[in-house]
Each structure stands twice: as structure tokens, then as C-alpha cells.
Structure 1
Amino acid sequence: MFAIVRTGGKQYRVAAGDKIVVEKIAGDAGSTVSLGDVLFAGSGGETQDVSGLTVSAEIIAQAKGEKVIVFKKRRRHNYRRRNGHRQQHTILRITAIGDHKAENEARAEAPAAVEA
């Protein structure tokens, strides 16, 4: 199953178990967040109703992106300005879409069969 969610002004296609990098979301590493702005959901060729559907994700890390150099210059006026910027972002692991969980997480929650 997959879903298209909107966060930070951008749209992402996610499935359970995926890792994505999004604009900064408040929270510490290891905490769980819920992405409620689901635009589309489906499985194979079928679509699913998205009313009330949420995507659960775990914050892996808070990080910074690559440095972008901002350089301004005006010719023949001895004007030069150099500035840098590093965008803050959050790395997420999608744990579940609605009630569909990631396979490795579903296996961990299922009780192990005891052999006699």
C-alpha cells in the first residue's frame, strides 16, 4: 500500500518501511509523528478513501542539508557579499499507513510459534 502525503509544502509518495527527508518537524529522534494531510492512497491499481487516514512515522534524526553559498556582486562598485545557508530537515521512517504496518514491524509484533 502507498500514500501521497503533503508536509512542508511538498508532496511525497510513501509506503510502509520507507525513509524520507522532509522539512523540519518538531520532535526528538525516536519519537513518533502522525502525518494527517493524506492526498491519495492506493494499493496496486485500486484507490482507497483517504478521509480519516493518517500516516505514522518515526523520527530517525534531525539534520542539516548541504551548504548553499549565496554570493552577491555588483560590477564596478566594489560590492561583494558572501553568505551560506544550511536548511534544517528531518529524516523519517514510515511505520504505518492507516492500519497497514511495515512488514518487519508486523513480524516483530506477531507472537512466535513454539515448536514442541
Structure 2
Amino acid sequence: MFAVIKTGGKQYKVAKDDVIKVERLSGEAGDSVQLDQVLAISGDDGALTVGTPLLDGAFVSATLLEQARADKIVVFKKKRRQNYRRKAGHRQDLTVLRITDIAAKGAKKPAPKKAAEAKADAPAKEEKAETAPKKAAPKKAAPKKEAAAKKAPAKKAAPKKAAAKKTEE
């Protein structure tokens, strides 16, 4: 049985007891993490269920092993013949996860430890936003002047004068 999950803008094919490195997720070592963006699940019988784009009710449980950092990469920019060189480094923050369970639709979802507290704080913030006074609606732009739309009729060019012929005397 395997699942395809999405986290950190990337997709991972995971099975039970896999250890994967993903972009940083909040939490400490030993915490339980629920990954609910499941794109596909393959059952024990080999049947593949694909979401459109996600599977409703499906989730992957994982244990957070450690917070780590990737190797340093060098970012070097250069424009030839312009005396332009820039060198910078970058180390990506990573989270190491061990997949503990893959659950399809309708399975009982265990409550995560710290994620539930963060979700409980979110509605309180939304209530404060709703009770705040609303700003007045922006006024509509003034209608354009009709005079600018009507142009004066174009003047006709004056006829050219014929050049006087020179006579020989």
C-alpha cells in the first residue's frame, strides 16, 4: 500500500515506515503530524484511487523524527564582460518524517497534538476580524466628460499655391 502526498509544494510517494525529508513543518521531535493533502492511494489489492485533485477524508500519519538542514548550495550569478559577480549560499530547512499510517476515506482520524491547538486559535482571530468596524466601500470613479469624447471637426488643409514660372528675359 502506498500513497502520493503533497507537502511544501512537492509530491512524495510514501509507504508505511518510509523515512522522507520534506520542507520544514512546525513541531518538535516525537510529535505526530497529519498530512491531509493526499493525491492518490493504492490499496492492498492493487487498486489505485486518484483524487480530483485531492482525496476527501484520506490522510497520512507521520512521526516527526528531527528538524534538520540540507547541504549548503552555492548561488553564483555572473554577467560576462560587465564586471558583475554575486555569490551567495543557501541551506534549506528540512523536517525528517517517518510514515506511520496511511488511511483512506472514512477512517478514524486521530487528533494531532499541537495542530489542534493552532486550529483552535484560528477561529478566535476570525471572530475579532468580523467584529472590527468595516471600512466604507470605495467610491466609484467619476464619469468621463462627454466633451472630451466629441472632437472638433478637422480643418481642411489650404490648397498649395502653384509655383510661379520663371520667364527668360
Superposition TM-score tier, normalisation by shorter sequence? 0.7 to 0.9
Pair 1:72 & 2:73 matched: no
AA in 1 matched with 2:71: E
Pair 1:51 & 2:52 matched: no
Q: Based on CA coordinates, which of the two structures has the bigger radius of gyration?
A: 2
Q: Deviations over 1:49-87 (max 9, x none)?
A: 842011000111111111111112333443322110011
SS in structure 1 at match of 2:72: strand
Which structure has the higher relative contact order (CA within 8 Å, separation 6+)? Answer: 1
Identity in percent: 51
AA in 1 matched with 2:48: T
* Structure with greater proportional strand content: 1
AA in 2 matched with 1:47: L
Q: How does 1:29-108 map to 2 (within 5 A)?
A: 29-43=29-43, 44-48=45-49, 50-98=55-103
Q: State TM-score, norm by structure 2.
A: 0.54
Following TM superposition, by how much is the alpha carbon of 1:48 offset from its aligned partner in structure 2, in angstroms?
4.6
- Distance in 1, matches of 2:88 and 2:71, equals 14
- Distance in 1, matches of 2:14 and 2:82, equals 50
Q: Deviations over 1:9-31 (max 9, x none)?
A: 11111111111111111111111
* Structure with greater proportional helix content: 2
AA in 2 matched with 1:93: R
How many residues in Structure 1 have an aligned counterpart in Structure 2? 99
SS in structure 2 at match of 1:17: coil
- Distance in 2, matches of 1:47 and 1:53, equals 13
Query: What is the RMSD of the two structures over their aligned residues, measured on CA atoms?
Result: 1.7
- Distance in 2, matches of 1:82 and 1:45, equals 49
User: In structure 1, what is the equivalent of residue 147 of structure 2?
Assistant: none
| Contiguous gaps of at least 5 residues in structure 2 | 108-169
Q: State TM-score, norm by structure 1.
A: 0.76
| Contiguous gaps of at least 5 residues in structure 1 | 100-116
